[in-house]
Amino acid sequence: MFELADAVLCTDGPVRSLVGLSLAPEHQRGHGALYDGINHGGVDLARLSNLVAAQPLPRAADDRVVLAVDVSPWLRPDVNTLPERSFCHTYGRSKGQHLMIPGWPYSVVAALETGRASWTALLDAIRLLPGADVAAVTTAQIREVVQRLITAGQWREGDPEILVVLDAGYDAPRIAHLLDDLPVQILGRMRADGVLRRPAPPLRPGPSPGRPAHHGAEFAFGDPVTWGTEQARTTTGTRLYGTATVQAWDRLHPKLTSRAAWPTTRDHCRSSRAR
């Protein structure tokens, strides 16, 4: 079955017949073994996933495990009968335009290392079905990968927490909330026009303090006037972009709304605040 998979990936042009794959140089067995592999072969995905998690992992400079999660589409625009296709966002296929092309989107988890490398350690990949809750699927996928890494001894008590890096399309606050029982830290990129909130101010003194506030002042990414003084600041030189400056502010949070998957969490936060 593995040689059959190699033949599918390495054969030039479309695959028109199974027996034709046996002629590929990567398929070193006879054509009869090809059908035996299809009829009797199988892959135990759980054992394979545990085996992958037990392999030596690339790590950051401080020996921390760093995981990156992103969606990579397998574009299938010409297969009209292919089930469960979705419109996949692509860029740069036609004069720098953003296009939506039918295909299968896959959520991929990879282990990163410090510096540049030509290879990436892929740990997991699952296909996203049409209409899937990306945050919920990603949370379950990260949980399974982290638990496999812990079982394999890749992370032990006292090690730095596993860093999970997300792109701007993910609901990083929600994923961090759902994974708060695991030794992970979530680092997610946010939109340049995003708005966060500061902690709620204390109640006004007096017999009638009024209704307690749930949020503080706004922190608008595009308005430096709202930033205030940062809690941390660092600078470093880069090879291509000169000096890079990083600022950090503590205890900023998004304002939860009643949309999407937040209503239950929002009500829970309010009841906890009331108590």
Specify whether 97 is located in the same domain as 156: yes
What's residue 271's pLDDT? 38
Specify whether 155 is located in the same domain as 229: no
DSSP secondary structure, 15-82, as one string: ---HHHHTTSTT--S-HHHHHHHHHH----HHHHHHHHHTSPPP--TTS--EEEEEEEEEE-TT-TT-
Specify whether 152 is located in the same domain as 215: no
Specify whether 158 is located in the same domain as 123: yes
Identify which of 265, 264, 228 has the alpha carbon closest to the alpha carbon of residue 247.
Answer: 228
Distance CA 87, CA 124 (A): 22
Q: Return the SS3 of 172.
A: helix
Specify whether 174 is located in the same domain as 55: yes
What's residue 165's pLDDT? 96
What's residue 101's pLDDT? 87
Specify whether 69 is located in the same domain as 156: yes
Q: What is the DSSP letter of 206?
A: S
Specify whether 170 is located in the same domain as 65: yes
Query: Based on the structure, what is the number of domains in the chain?
Result: 3
pLDDT digit string (tens) for the chain, length 275 residues: 888 888 888 888 777 888 888 888 888 888 788 888 888 888 888 999 999 999 999 999 889 999 999 999 988 888 888 888 888 888 766 666 778 888 999 999 999 998 888 888 999 999 999 988 888 999 999 999 999 999 999 999 999 999 999 988 888 888 998 999 999 999 999 888 889 999 888 877 777 767 777 888 999 999 999 999 999 999 999 888 899 999 999 989 888 765 556 555 544 444 334 33
Q: What is the DSSP letter of 225?
A: G
Specify whether 2 is located in the same domain as 58: no
Of the candidates 188, 205, 226, which is a domain's last residue? Answer: 188
The range of the structural domain enclosing residue 98 comes to: 48-188
CATH label of the domain that carries residue 77: 3.30.420
Of the candidates 132, 166, 188, which is a domain's last residue? Answer: 188
Of the candidates 188, 209, 226, which is a domain's last residue? Answer: 188
What's residue 23's pLDDT? 84
Specify whether 75 is located in the same domain as 164: yes
C-beta neighbour count of 219 within 10 angstroms: 17
| Residue listed under structure tokens 């010409």 | 78
